Amino acid sequence: MGTIKKAVIPAAGLGTRFLPATKAIPKEMIPIIDTPMIQHIAEEAVQSGIEQIVIVTARHKESIENHFDYNYELDDTLEKKGKSDLLKISQDVAKMCEVISIRQKNPLGLGHAVLTAAPVIGNEPFAVLLGDDLIDARVPCTRQLMDIYEQERQSVIGVMEVPLEETSKYGIVGGARKNSKLTQVEVMVEKPEPKDAPSQLATPGRYILDPVIFDILRRTPAGKGGEIQLTDALQILAKEKGLLAFEYEGDRYDTGDRLGFIDATLAFALKRPELKSSVLEIMNKHLREQS
Ligand code: G1P
């Protein structure tokens, strides 16, 4: 198994948690400040060393492809007006990496979406990044996982500790600790009730996977919600080939949730030097009005 150069970003979901915004716009195109969520995810991949991103899309999601392409009309207008800063912003997205899109024609679940990317990934280990989770980290989360993969030569998923009452929102792992950050996964359960959770270690959607996962996904029956679950395939991978869970370092935001989205928006705004003091003033104004 070589080094990891390819990543899959599943982006075929309907985004019903964010209606009405997602009625005509893919949820992945909703911005945090001025940057679509999927661009934040693609940036994490590229900063981790990924060279080719496979986006699994669906009908009515063409704007995602357009976003990673050139917009000649816009670029031409910006050039003629001498707006070189804006021109750079527009063109940098098209230049950031090679993007290949492939359609998931039926909504059969996350596992099926990953399997849809198999013809493009081929027989190489690859990363998967889910678009609802933004992880702000000094070393990008995917890079942290790639480093573990390169040391251990085993598939690895990122995990974080969640409160017991939240286990039913995530894939949860259980297993034997190898050290303070690394667990050898023995079981993996999709969204268990707290009483059935094997631990409080949850995956926010960052995976480095051996390509054998495709063979496993082909024989994984529909699971929770009648969908082919990536988690169920990972459980088989853990048994047959080995799977590690790594407690990555970084702040994670669930941008698929309204409050998580607001949290991410404020956190990212406060990290922008040109916005920080004005945003703090706005926040203070609201705090005063509430007291
Ligand atoms: C998916 C996965 C789940 C994972 C979660 C992270 O669920 O199935 O295992 O923990 O993403 O956000 P979803 O949130 O898409 O229902």
CATH code, domain carrying 122: 3.90.550.10
pTM of the model: 0.94
Looking at the CA of residue 170, tell me the nearest atom of ligand 1. 10
CA contacts within 13 A on the Cβ side of 8: 32
Res. 225: pLDDT tops 80: yes
**pLDDT tens-digit series, residues 100-136:** 999 999 889 999 999 999 999 999 999 999 988 999 9
pLDDT band at 236 (very low <50, low <70, confident <90, very high): very high
- Residue with the smallest CA separation from ligand 1 atom 10 is 170
Does residue 263 lie in a domain region?
no
Does residue 267 lie in a domain region?
no
Residue 246, phi then psi, degrees to nearest 5: -120, 125
Q: Which residues contact 126 (CB under 8 A, 6 or more apart)?
A: 4, 6, 7, 8, 117, 208, 209, 211
| Strand extents, DSSP E, 43-200 | 52-57, 98-103, 126-129, 133-136, 155-161, 171-177, 182-190
- Residue with the smallest CA separation from ligand 1 atom 12 is 204
**pLDDT tens-digit series, residues 22-41:** 999 999 999 999 999 999 99
Ligand 1 centre to CA of 83 (Å) is 41
- Residue with the smallest CA separation from ligand 1 atom 9 is 171
Is residue 167 in contact with ligand 1, taking CB distance under 6 Å?
no
Ligand 1 centre to CA of 288 (Å) is 37
Structure tokens at 206: 């960052």
Res. 198: pLDDT tops 80: yes
Pocket test for ligand 1, best of 128, 167, 203, 206 (most atoms within 8 A of CB): 203
pLDDT band at 14 (very low <50, low <70, confident <90, very high): confident
Is residue 9 in contact with ligand 1, taking CB distance under 6 Å?
no
Does residue 77 lie in a domain region?
yes
Does residue 153 lie in a domain region?
yes
pLDDT of res. 291: 81
pLDDT of res. 217: 97
Is residue 204 in contact with ligand 1, taking CB distance under 6 Å?
yes
pLDDT band at 1 (very low <50, low <70, confident <90, very high): very low
Is residue 32 in contact with ligand 1, taking CB distance under 6 Å?
no
What domain range is 163 assigned to?
A: 6-256
pLDDT of res. 212: 97
- Residue with the smallest CA separation from ligand 1 atom 15 is 110
- Residue with the smallest CA separation from ligand 1 atom 11 is 205
Res. 89: pLDDT tops 60: yes
Please give the share of the chain, as a percent, with pLDDT higher than 70: 99
Does residue 288 lie in a domain region?
no
Res. 64: pLDDT tops 50: yes
Number of domains, the chain: 1
Answer positive or negative: Cα dihedral of 251, 256, 259, 263: positive
One-letter amino acid for residue 280 of the chain: L
